[in-house]
Amino acid sequence: MKHILVIDDAATVRLYHRGILENAGYSVDEAINGIEALEKALVKPYDLFIVDVNMPKLDGYGFLKEFRRQDDALQSPAIMVTTEASGSDKQLGYMSGANLYITKPIKPNELVNYARLLLGETL
Amino acid sequence: MAFIKKTATPIHCTEHDERHTERDFADLVAELGAENETARRWAVRDLTPLPDASQPLVARLAYEESASVRAAILNALAQIGDHAAIAGLIHCLRSEDAGLRNEAIEVLKAIPQHVEPVIHTLLNDSDSDVRIFAVNILESLRHKDVEKWLIEVIEKDPHINVCATAVDLLSEVGTERALPALKQLKIRFEDDPYICFTTDLALKRIEDGSQ
């Protein structure tokens, strides 16, 4: 079973993403900000990250930059799911290490399809 | 012109973290642009109690790259809390720098007494991202009108993500007064799965809480 870490400071968003991804057959953990995500990612390997941008303590860009910097071998893909829709936000997301940048709100089948795409699974 | 006494240092100083000169306002403003990060941090610290410090601090914040100096400036602005300081913090909500935006949100959350007079303006800002940040700030406002403002948001705001953020908070602070607006929102965005999900959750929590 593939492991996914959902990183978002909004409990409802985490619950929403968790429900969708668990229904699709994935194991899901949650983190409430980038710092907690870094701590969890250091002790457990994740196959995919679903990352919000705006979070207290360490935002999504900061998490990805730090995560990619800590260990080059940790190259699990990441989807940024955020309300930030500007071109510069997307560019920053990709520069930070995101593989996909999706603007909220996201529909369940979209999230699952993107997850499968980045996990190399058959759609 | 204000003058800083060298002896009025309430924190520990290392050999490399000391003032080298006694400085007036103009010197301190100039020092905000010093090459040395520690010197800039000292300048922020020494400027903070002086009249009219907000404007040079806000000006420096726009291009300060050091995280520690930036944090010092944000904390100084929160401590000063005058019109220019709050305007400077609010301006950060429009920054392209997500880190700065989040730091500003956290600082604004910590000074609800200064945010309260401008929150209604922020909730009606033309930029939907600023309206989302305003809802985020409401979380810590502990004001008697928070629920009323959130209800206004979900009744009137055209942007789905602003409404979604308001519903998330309403599910924590909402009462039976919010139920009609939540039901109406679900009808307005009936095709959006997330709004339906979060609205159902808020309705359930409020209804369960009222029993």
> Which domains, and CATH codes, for chain B?
17-110 (1.25.10), 113-211 (1.25.10)
ipTM (interface pTM): 0.83
Residue B152 touches chain A, beta carbons under 8 Å: no
Taking the C-alpha atoms of residue B100 and residue B91, their distance in angstroms, rounded to an integer, is 10
Residues of A within an 8 Å Cβ radius of B:
10-13, 15-16, 19, 53-56, 59-62, 83-84, 88-89, 92, 104-108
- Cβ of B164 within 8 Å of Cβ of A11? The answer is no
- Cβ of B129 within 8 Å of Cβ of A84? The answer is yes
B2 to B9, B24, B75: CA distances (angstroms): 16, 6, 21
Q: What is the domain count for chain A? A: 1
Q: pLDDT tier at B22 (50, 70, 90 boundaries)?
A: low
Residue B179 pLDDT > 70, yes or no?
A: yes
Arithmetic mean of pLDDT, A103-122: 91
N- to C-terminal Cα separation, chain B: 63
Q: How confident is the prediction for chain B on average, in pLDDT? A: 87
The residue in chain B having the minimum alpha-carbon distance to the alpha carbon of residue A55 is B102
The residue in chain B having the minimum alpha-carbon distance to the alpha carbon of residue A11 is B168
CATH number at residue A96: 3.40.50.2300
Q: pLDDT tier at A72 (50, 70, 90 boundaries)?
A: low
**Owning domain of residue A22:** 3-118
| Cβ contacts of A15 on chain B, cutoff 8 Å | 201
Arithmetic mean of pLDDT, A61-66: 90
User: Which range is least confidently modeled, A36-45, B3-12, B51-60?
Assistant: B3-12
> Which is nearest to B138 in space by CA: B163, B157, B164, B112?
B112
Q: Token pair of B40, please?
A: 């800039």
In tens, the pLDDT along B32-84 reads 999 999 999 999 999 999 999 999 999 999 889 898 999 999 999 999 999 99
pTM above 0.90, yes or no: no
- Cβ of A108 within 8 Å of Cβ of B193? The answer is yes
Q: pLDDT tier at B16 (50, 70, 90 boundaries)?
A: low
Q: How far does A45 lie from chain B, in Å, by closest CA? A: 26
Backbone angles phi, psi at A7, to 5 degrees: -115, 110
A107 in any annotated domain: yes
A123 in any annotated domain: no
Please tell me the predicted confidence (pLDDT) of residue B211.
Answer: 66
Q: pLDDT tier at A96 (50, 70, 90 boundaries)?
A: confident
A66 in any annotated domain: yes
Taking the C-alpha atoms of residue A20 and residue A102, their distance in angstroms, rounded to an integer, is 16
Amino acid at B128: S
- Cβ of A12 within 8 Å of Cβ of B198? The answer is yes
Secondary-structure percent of chain A, ordered helix, strand, coil, rounded to 5: 45, 20, 35
Q: In angstroms, how far is CA B3 from the centroid of its own chain?
A: 31
3-state secondary structure of A3: strand
Residue A41 pLDDT > 60, yes or no?
A: yes
